[in-house]
């Protein structure tokens, strides 16, 4: 059976991952409205990855004999001042998610739940990648500044993103 405190924590994380998916889908819609199809594609893939992150937790809770409890998902922000601001928000959000995962790992340690500690290691590694990806894009956008050609080139580059569905298996 799944430890009750961890069941609550894992369910909370399912909500956070679904909210992440919702935030990135909202960012995708913002980019679509600005005709920035490459950034939009990147965000749509990010949103789909977050949905997979939620489902991976969902499956684990069930596998451990716990009960999945879905709760309300908040309304995401819908407007930004610039492409840079969108990715600064992305980075800040990923840092927040890393903190959530760290707290869950701490709880799993306190409760001596080795299986959950082990399961969460995938998320620990994933967060390193998530923060690094967002940091790189923020750095690139700062370098480009207000230069339209630079934004155009970055839009094309990010539009090359490939799905990583197998990554979340
Ligand atoms: Fe599922 Fe971007 O953290």
* Number of alpha carbons in the 13 Å side-chain half-sphere of residue 134: 22
**What does the block give as tokens for 92?**
């800040």
**Cβ of residue 108 lying under 6 Å from some atom of ligand 1:** no
11 neighbors 69 (Cβ within 8 angstroms): yes
4-163 topology per CATH: Ferritin (1.20.1260)
**Cβ of residue 21 lying under 6 Å from some atom of ligand 1:** no
| CA 148 from centroid of its chain's CA atoms | 28
Q: Which of 33, 48, 24, 54 is nearest to 134 (CA)?
A: 24
pLDDT in tens, 127-137: 999 999 999 99
Distance of CA 17 from the midpoint of ligand 1 (Å): 6
Q: Determine the Cα–Cα distance for residues 148 and 154; give it in Å rounded to an integer.
A: 10
**What does the block give as tokens for 12?**
């909370």
44 neighbors 117 (Cβ within 8 angstroms): no
Residue that the structure tokens 């995938």 belong to: 122
Q: Determine the Cα–Cα distance for residues 97 and 105; give it in Å rounded to an integer.
A: 12
pLDDT of residue 47: 98
pLDDT in tens, 67-114: 999 999 999 999 999 999 999 999 999 999 999 999 999 999 999 999
Q: Which atom of ligand 1 is nearest to the CA of 16?
A: 1
The protein residue whose alpha carbon is closest to atom 1 in ligand 1 is 50
| Mean predicted lDDT score pLDDT of the chain | 96
**Cβ of residue 93 lying under 6 Å from some atom of ligand 1:** no
């Amino acid at each position: 059976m799944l430890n009750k405190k961890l069941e609550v924590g894992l369910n909370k994380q399912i909500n956070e991952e679904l909210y992440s998916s919702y935030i990135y889908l909202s960012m995708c819609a913002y980019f679509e409205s600005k005709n920035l199809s490459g950034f939009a594609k990147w965000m749509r893939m990010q949103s789909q990855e977050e949905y997979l992150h939620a489902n991976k937790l969902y499956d684990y809770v069930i596998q451990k004999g716990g009960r999945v409890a879905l709760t309300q998902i908040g309304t995401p922000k819908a407007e930004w001042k610039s492409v840079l601001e969108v990715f600064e928000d992305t980075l800040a959000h990923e840092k927040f998610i890393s903190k959530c995962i760290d707290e869950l790992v701490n709880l799993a340690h306190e409760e001596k739940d080795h299986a959950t500690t082990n399961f969460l290691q995938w998320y620990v590694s994933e967060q390193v990648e998530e923060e690094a990806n967002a940091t790189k894009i923020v750095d690139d956008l700062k370098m480009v500044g207000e230069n339209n050609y630079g934004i155009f080139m970055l839009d094309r580059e990010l539009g090359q993103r490939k799905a990583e569905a197998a990554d979340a298996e």
